[in-house]
Structure 1
Amino acid sequence: MFLISAKIESFKSINTPQNVLIDDEVTVLVGMNEAGKTVFLKALEKSNDAQGLAKFNPVDDYPRKGYTEYRNQHEKNPAEATILTYQLTEDEVSDLNSELHSELPAEFTFSVTHLYNNTRRISISVDEQPVLKALLAESALSTDAKTALKKAQSFRSIPKCFEGIGLTDEDERFLDKINNRIAETTWDSVVQYEVWKWLEPNIPQFLYFSDYDILPSKINILDLESKVKQAETNPEKLTSQYRSALALLRKAGISINDITNSKGYETQDAILGSVSSNLTDQILEFWKQNEDIEVEVDINSDLTDDPPFNNGPNLYLRIKNLRHRGVRSPFDQRSRGFIWFFSFLVWFDSVQIQIGSKKDIILLLDEPGLALHALAQANFLDYIDDLAKKHQVIYTTHSPFMVHSHRLHQVRMVEDKAKLGTIISDNLSGSDPRTIFPLQAALGWTIAQNLFISPRNLLVEGASDLIYLKTISAFLENEGRIGLRENITIVPVGGLDNVVTFLALLSANDLKIAVLHDYKGSLEQKLEDIVKAKIINPKSVLNASQFRNLDQLGKEGQASDTEDLFEPEFYLDYFNRTFSKQLSDVAIKESELPKRDRIIQRIESYLKDKKIKLRPSGGFNHYAVASYFASNPPDSLDENTLKRFEELFKKVNAVV
């Protein structure tokens, strides 16, 4: 079961209800500081906290500007905080239908509304008729009873249908079972209730982690024991630092009693040695910045330390650096990034032990890896992908190194807008340039990184070409067709004028290179010159027109851009959706466009004729359409479009 959407009604800085689509693997919230990224995570955590600690509190959570008015209604009419919609997996639907004899559809969804008084409302729709039919087919009822059962319109109406007929012993037992099931709920639909009781224990819970949950370097055992006892009556006494300490003990597989009532040095040393080795293996699986380290856990007393560490045994967490002859240092003296990463591993493993590793959870990570080096952040992305194999992950960031540039559909933009409060959207084109800067930087970093390490490169004019080619290549591969080979890097060079410079730089490195450029109706002089200079093989210089006409593949025809490999109506539809706000939701039709060779040229001519300004310099931002396309890919593409791109990829694969 996984979360597919989260609607936040009114919560802290979210004044306007925000309905956010959640990716079934990883969702990334990108935005400036104080935009409201943490607010969104906190709303989810308080909806269904796996640790049972976070709860909605109107004083702390309800938007302040409306709190005075709301508090008068809270007791009798608590406001909705979140509405969470879940979807079942194919196996879950099959199991549920098999157990309850229902016929839920393959992508069955239901919603849970969480209120500010920490109660909830369930929205679920289940047809009872299949269950009634199953009862009729499986039961050994008398003829009269079966006739009566056929008249039942709902599960709850079955007993009434049995009134006034003679019942056999088998009929009586059947009716007793029906009455018992009806008595279990006040819901109108008994079957809906039974489906809900099946779903309820399987609903994913949320786990939130931030800098406040990092591990301490040393823990006084008696002080920890005291706080645990106080927390039995006052949970707030167990602060995040103490909870992290308990997490380390759980991870170590030891309890407070094991330390205070030690069974001898050798036993304790064996346990701690095993724990130290296990922690080292886990951290090194994903920590690649320094692999010459070992984690050490030790227990000792120190009467000279400051309170409370001068009273009884302390648990010490240290890191040994093998690069420097095994020098040991306290955990809190390591880099901030290492401390965060290690703390998360311990915390997450501990929580899984508490709630059970088989329980579905959704991880909420607030600015993960913020203190990590850029390359370490890339390693942490691999770790997030590994986590996403079992759990949905939602994390916040404003680092370009914490965003996969080829997965823009997973990104949600978070902005704080005047009067509206926090706004969360997947529309990149309509976002503040400062908000989308990490995405632009991520794309730039990917380009720059690949530029120097890839032995095979396809040079294109702009970033929009990169997006279209990457997206369609993945689309084709998903259908078992030919896409661009994975070892070919697409490099946008910022226009045809830069192609010569890039070719000169790259050819010196003995790299294999192809060029895909827009075609204006005749071969560009600069391209002719580099071919004559034997900087590039003429077969490696390709243009969009060679793949536009399926009857004349490989031959240059009318002026064409990459966008012309799509059907005109298809591209125009994405243009209309990208700029719907600026166009006042009035869609431009292809029949309204002037006759030109290129779809971009046709649209720009139309805008000019109608005096529609989408940007001060005229025309429109081609990249905005490409970004929207990548964030909102179509469910399917027409065969001609797929064929054009497939032939293009075949050619590029061959020449590179």
Structure 2
Amino acid sequence: MNEAGKTVLLKALQKSSDALGEDSFEPVEDYPRKDLSAYLKTHKTEPAAVTELTYALEDDEVEKINTKVGTALKPGHQVTVTSKYDNSIVIGLAVDEQPLVKAFTKSLSTDAAAALSSCKKLRVIPTLLAEVSLTDSDSAALAALNARITASKWDNVAQWETWAEISNRRPKFLYFSDYDLLPGKMNLADLATRVEQAKSDPKHLKPSHRAVLALLRMADVPITDLTTPSGYEELKAKIEAVSIRLTDQVMEFWKQNEDLEVEVDIKADPSDEGPFNNGANLYLRIKNRRHRGVSTPFDQRSRGFIWFFSFLVWFDSVQHQLDPSGKSASKRLILLLDEPGLALHALAQADFLRYIDRLANDHQVLYTTHSPFMVHSDRLHQVRVVEDQLKVGTVISEHLSGADPRTIFPLQAALGWTVAQNLFISERNLLVEGPSELIYLQAISGLLEADGGGGLRDDVTIVPTGGLDKLATFVSLLGANGLKLAVLHDFSGSPDQKLESLVRDKLLAAKSLFNVAQFRDPEKSSEKRQPSDIEDLFSVSLYLKHFNATFATQLGGTVIAESDLPAGDRIVYRLEQYIKSKGLTIRPSGGFNHYAVAAHFAGSPPKSIDAATKGRFKALFAAINAAY
């Protein structure tokens, strides 16, 4: 909701590690106002912590650090960086020096190594070797170690060297909001004056000035070129070049009106009001080919277009500032977008989501929104809700249970849009992971009913949710509407924590949560059940019959039997391993399309089902029917 604290969250992240180095924490602005007076008395001597950010190293980063420093960090190693209101930081990083001590000891002679038998820290090694007769090789190794110790600012040398590597890789934050929008015109003399004044006081440059400087930076045009009359033709050529470039960039994602062109111009207007009557002004206009090339001032276009355009200019400029080579530095950015596309039409918001997806190839993106059209309905598990809780403050959570209905309303609207496009929700719903489950359950239920009964009750709607990670979100959102829900999911070998939490939070009855493994081998206890998919409820021979028929062309006459498959719990994984080992190409991306086998089964159902398969599905349907 408004005033829940979304902007505060993004600004706190930005100020913790601002990529541009322009923003920092100010106690008077940022500290909770009700306690500010008391805090200012201790601020200089005991600055309070404002954010604690936890970073996890990627596997390749761990490998590089271990190789360079000699550490033995494990995959996923974490470091915390706590920022304080005086803009100092406290680093939490656990690094064991023992591997480095052992490696150093192995490089020494026998006598020197013996002196270090109980050593655990690099810093004490020179002292322990002070009375030992060293070989030339020992002395060289000790000299190299002393250089490392001297360069280290911390007691733990390995910890310091590890942080030196991590700090270079730590991503920075970039924040963008409506305050950074481009104006339609800017007086160049005034801008040049402000640029000079900003060298001593950055406050002379407002967001609008920075936005225009970003535009000029895209054109590779210094402000000094614009304030002198010489070289106009060269300047005009550069301005036209950036106009074309901007048009191409914007139109790639702006699909609401593809007849627009960006036009940048420079001219004087002595009749305008100050400061625009003092020399040349830079004008930004938008030309509409649909109306015979008529152009209008940029700031008279729709607010949505202005935002979209301004963001593209700003981000291109920022990337250039951070990494003129365009190679790698700018990729270590986390983009913080505050209510992007708020003024965009619903379909234009979808255009902007595509642009965010493009950005996400190189950057993590966090954005706040109230709009259901700015939520990927197939990625609801990525959503976090922000609430200002009484006596607690702003809380950011992935748990929808207990959230204020007004907070989750945009999510319900996003889900409702998807539901309206794809399926009809009834009073009783069985949530499954994907369309394969839907097809198998409907087909088998029909076969059982035709054979005397035992299928799924006919007032239950099977709802595919798009994966296990989305099931919990669907339960939270649909359950709030008073619908009767049951869940059937594949079993990985251990209970799914998100679904278990729904039971604990009483959003889903325990009797309504089912996993496939329960019906594959009912005699086994929950701790000993095999990892299972819906396909494992079929006898292996029956599933292989339909698999072979589905991919007969790709298999080239090969008929796969159960004896051909490697051992394993899940038939789909065993088949994928077989396909890979034989070098078969069922689909370009590898493996095979599970849905295609399900579709074949529904299109060419068997006349009879073996007793084991029939028994498993009868038990499944009986349990689900009883849950309602």
TM range (shorter): 0.7 to 0.9
- 8 A Cα contact 1:460 1:515, kept in partner: no
- 8 A Cα contact 2:428 2:485, kept in partner: no
Name the CA distance, whole Å, in 2 between partners of 1:565 and 1:279: 48
Name the CA distance, whole Å, in 1 between partners of 2:600 and 2:402: 36
Tell me, yes or no, if structure 1 residue 58 matches structure 2 residue 22: no
> Which secondary structure state, in structure 2, belongs to the residue aligned with residue 320 of structure 1?
strand
Deviations 1:245-277 (A, max 9, x none): 111111111111221235433212211121111
With a CA cutoff of 8 Å and minimum separation of 6, indicate the structure with the bigger relative contact order.
Answer: 1
Tell me, yes or no, if structure 1 residue 179 matches structure 2 residue 146: yes
Give me the identity figure in percent.
50
> Which secondary structure state, in structure 2, belongs to the residue aligned with residue 145 of structure 1?
helix
RMSD: 3.6
Aligned to 1:630: none
Match of 2:174 among 207, 218, 223: 207
1:368 Cα deviation after fit: 0.4
> Which secondary structure state, in structure 2, belongs to the residue aligned with residue 78 of structure 1?
coil
- 8 A Cα contact 1:364 1:393, kept in partner: yes
More displaced stretch, 110-119 vs 266-275: 266-275
> Which secondary structure state, in structure 1, belongs to the residue aligned with residue 532 of structure 2?
helix
Match of 2:535 among 613, 631, 643: 643
Change (3 A) 1:174 1:562: same
Aligned to 2:581: none
Write out aligned runs for 1:27-38 (5 A). 32-38=1-7
The code of the aligned residue for 2:155 comes to D
- 8 A Cα contact 2:259 2:290, kept in partner: yes
TM-score normalised according to structure 2 size:
0.73
Tell me, yes or no, if structure 1 residue 577 matches structure 2 residue 524: no
Aligned to 1:600: 512
Change (3 A) 1:187 1:542: closer
Flag structure 1 segments of 5+ consecutive residues without an equivalent: 1-31, 452-458, 474-481, 491-512, 528-540, 545-559, 591-598, 603-636
Name the CA distance, whole Å, in 2 between partners of 1:575 and 1:99: 42
Aligned to 2:350: 378
> Which secondary structure state, in structure 2, belongs to the residue aligned with residue 106 of structure 1?
coil
Name the CA distance, whole Å, in 2 between partners of 1:105 and 1:172: 32
1:117 Cα deviation after fit: 0.6
> Which secondary structure state, in structure 1, belongs to the residue aligned with residue 168 of structure 2?
helix
Name the CA distance, whole Å, in 1 between partners of 2:457 and 2:229: 82
- 8 A Cα contact 2:268 2:280, kept in partner: yes
1:654 Cα deviation after fit: 4.6
> Which secondary structure state, in structure 1, belongs to the residue aligned with residue 125 of structure 2?
helix
Match of 1:115 among 67, 84, 88: 84
Deviations 1:439-459 (A, max 9, x none): 1100111222346xxxxxxx6
1:191 Cα deviation after fit: 0.5
Name the CA distance, whole Å, in 2 between partners of 1:578 and 1:524: 25
Aligned to 1:389: 361
Match of 1:449 among 421, 432, 444: 421
Change (3 A) 1:407 1:638: farther
Deviations 1:24-73 (A, max 9, x none): xxxxxxxx111111111011011111111221111111112222222222
Name the CA distance, whole Å, in 1 between partners of 2:316 and 2:207: 16
Deviations 1:455-476 (A, max 9, x none): xxxx66479645x324xx7xxx
The code of the aligned residue for 2:35 comes to G
Aligned to 1:563: 487
Change (3 A) 1:54 1:302: same
Name the CA distance, whole Å, in 2 between partners of 1:386 and 1:231: 34
- 8 A Cα contact 1:248 1:347, kept in partner: yes
1:390 Cα deviation after fit: 0.6
Flag structure 2 segments of 5+ consecutive residues without an equivalent: 465-483, 515-528, 544-593, 604-628
The code of the aligned residue for 1:134 comes to A
More displaced stretch, 125-134 vs 570-579: 570-579
Write out aligned runs for 1:70-149 (5 A). 70-137=39-106, 139=107, 141-149=108-116
Aligned to 2:234: 267
- 8 A Cα contact 1:85 1:112, kept in partner: yes
> Which secondary structure state, in structure 2, belongs to the residue aligned with residue 323 of structure 1?
helix
Name the CA distance, whole Å, in 1 between partners of 2:359 and 2:41: 44
Change (3 A) 1:483 1:87: farther
1:387 Cα deviation after fit: 0.6
Aligned to 2:209: 242
1:149 Cα deviation after fit: 4.4
Change (3 A) 1:99 1:231: same
Name the CA distance, whole Å, in 1 between partners of 2:363 and 2:155: 34
Deviations 1:527-568 (A, max 9, x none): 9xxxxxxxxxxxxx9999xxxxxxxxxxxxxxx98535667x
- 8 A Cα contact 1:461 1:516, kept in partner: no
Tell me, yes or no, if structure 1 residue 44 matches structure 2 residue 42: no
The code of the aligned residue for 1:293 comes to L
Aligned to 1:3: none
Change (3 A) 1:638 1:308: farther
Change (3 A) 1:288 1:601: closer
Deviations 1:211-233 (A, max 9, x none): 00001111111111111111111
Match of 1:279 among 246, 256, 270: 246
The code of the aligned residue for 1:404 comes to H
Change (3 A) 1:464 1:245: farther
1:153 Cα deviation after fit: 1.4
- 8 A Cα contact 2:185 2:284, kept in partner: yes
1:170 Cα deviation after fit: 3.6
- 8 A Cα contact 1:563 1:571, kept in partner: no
> Which secondary structure state, in structure 2, belongs to the residue aligned with residue 639 of structure 1?
coil
- 8 A Cα contact 1:303 1:310, kept in partner: yes
Write out aligned runs for 1:250-399 (5 A). 250-356=217-323, 357=326, 358-359=328-329, 360-399=332-371
Aligned to 1:428: 400
- 8 A Cα contact 1:398 1:438, kept in partner: yes
